[in-house]
Amino acid sequence: MHIGLVGLGKMGGNMRERLRRGGVEVTGYDPNPEVTDVPDLPALMAAVPTPRLIWVMVPSGAVTDKVVSDLVAVMDEGDLLIDGGNSRFVDDSRHAAEAATRGIRYADCGVSGGIWGLDNGYGLMAGGEKADIEFAMPVFDALRPEGPREEGFVHAGPIGAGHYAKMVHNGIEYAQMQALAEGYELLAARDDLIHDVTGVFSAWQRGTVVRSWLLDLLVKALREDPGLDDIEGFVEDSGEGRWTVQEALDHAVPMPAISASIFARFVSRQEDSPSMKAVAALRKQFGGHAVRSA
């Protein structure tokens, strides 16, 4: 299979490499001339055989809107456009309608795995028509982790379902990181009693009910910087957490833990907090997100 990939940043660049390792031919386009395979979108269209599968991996919002519009202008009837970025699920119906004016098929896919996805694989949550998802299955199979398909990929529902599932995933992620971070702050506060905070977290990595990949990453961060002295306790939120809470309000679903984790990030922007240092360190570990140096 031969696909086009638009957006070759931290995620997109690694995804191109993993797809190629998995036997999928990829032609990538990015405005950065140092990483792109072709000079522009028309050249991308010329390189990918029809019916084309074009995967978009760019920041959500206005950037995705423009890329979708630019692609719709050059793609052909019968092509499939997949938005794999972190778009809000309500944007998918608008993008799908825009693509449909040219007879272009549309699907969405939430992608999780961060900078580790190249080697570990990506968790994938797709939304769209069954025939379109099946057409793209070789791509999904190359990107997902090894093992049973259902443990790394789901066709969650119609258009928008993939991004909705990813939104909830990220809301849960917020709460899990906050719990680990608060535990870190309490352990660190009792340095008269707890002499090895990193060792405590490390001892939880096997056999305990809180073992997880996030716990492993926190241990890694603490081994690199035991007091998190090199990180400012300032944490951004990329949108999905807020969207999750807004959906909870709209549907009267109680979400006290996820809601609290969002507000905790706002606290991080007011003062340097040990727990927010831990959250910042975790985001750097799993997603390569920028942190502010102390």
Catalytic residues: 166, 173
CA dihedral 246, 65, 87, 53 (to 10 degrees): 150
Chain centre distance of CA 176? 16
Distance between CA atoms of 31 and 47, rounded to whole angstroms? 17
First to last CA, the chain: 47
Residue in the structure block whose two tokens are 């939120």: 237
Distance between CA atoms of 16 and 6, rounded to whole angstroms? 10
Distance between CA atoms of 57 and 42, rounded to whole angstroms? 18
Residue in the structure block whose two tokens are 């907090």: 273
Cβ neighbour number for residue 63 with a 10 Å cutoff: 14
Report DSSP state, residue 196.
Answer: -
Written as six digits, the tokens of 18 are: 């993993």
User: 28: which strand partners?
Assistant: 5
Pairing mode of beta strands 123-127, 25-29: unpaired
Residue in the structure block whose two tokens are 């549907």: 251
Q: Are 128 and 108 in contact (CB under 8 A)?
A: yes
Helix (H) or strand (E) holding 275: helix 274-287
